[in-house]
Amino acid sequence: MKGLEKLREKLPAYPGRKIAILPLRGAAAGLLGYIFLIILSIIPRVFSEITFLGLIEPFLPLVGGIFLAILALWLVWGLWDKRDQMKEVLGELAYQKMIPRGVTGVFMVPPLVFLAFTSIPLLPPGPPVNELTNQWSMSLLPLIGIPAEIEFWIRIIISGILIILGALTVRSAILTFGLDYMTVVYLYFPEESEIQEHEIYSVIRHPAYLGGVILGAAGLFFSFSVYSIFLCLMVYLVFRLQIWKEEKELVERFGEGYAEYRKKVPALLVKPSKLKAYFKFLRMG
């Protein structure tokens, strides 16, 4: 895997296969995040005798989504905000100390996508206690005139296509740029970084983040409900705010050149004229 040896070099506490601890820890955190969202959503059903919980039931998945989005940003932004402080104290070991935090933050985003794919009314131990929860879980496509007998297949087909596109985009980003770039090694070791001049950067500024946004959109179309639309919006906002955080430093580092580049190339949108180059990127590796 491209960039794996560079990543190992910066993580002396994770020799050999021990490096797998990082993604496994992140996956465990993501699973806990999803369980948290599920439990929050069904608490009013478990304690149905508490009237107040029934009143707020429709809003609990939204509150949980906002909480995880904020937690994800707080964890990942710590890589940037605490970098100088940690490098001063730990030197070259600062990255090793901070990357578990960043990995955990990244894995807080998938639970938002998973919940968008989840039918909240079908969760145990029984049906929702508030009818609004059912209404916000229903597809909105019939409301805009799409016949009920075909809207299910429209959602499934579009969602399936987006899952494939999103997964291929993330895959190509990892294979093209390497694990070292994907895990921001060069945020802590900028002197070892190299300028990336791949064709995809003339198409879009953040291809890996685009993959995440597309997967979020897949969850949106799978249900096309109030909940899935909101959760997709949360995913999009997480990536937009992360881009804002990253690009503040890139503008400081590269000056007017990067500022001009931002004006020419979209962050998370592939222009129709660039689709050929985008699909070529998807075939990388």
Q: What angle do CA 86, 182, 107 make, to 5 degrees?
A: 80
Contact 48, 84 (CB under 8 A): no
Each residue's pLDDT tens digit, 172-221: 999 999 999 999 999 999 888 776 678 999 999 999 999 999 999 999 99
Cα separations in angstroms, 66 against 112, 133, 238, 241: 9, 17, 10, 14
Instruction: Name the domain count of the chain.
Output: 1
Note down the domain range covering 153: 4-282
Each residue's pLDDT tens digit, 67-103: 999 999 999 999 999 999 999 999 999 999 999 999 9
pTM of the model: 0.94
As given in the structure block, the two tokens for residue 256 are 């007017």
Average pLDDT, integer, range 238-250: 94
Whether the predicted pLDDT of 230 surpasses 80: yes
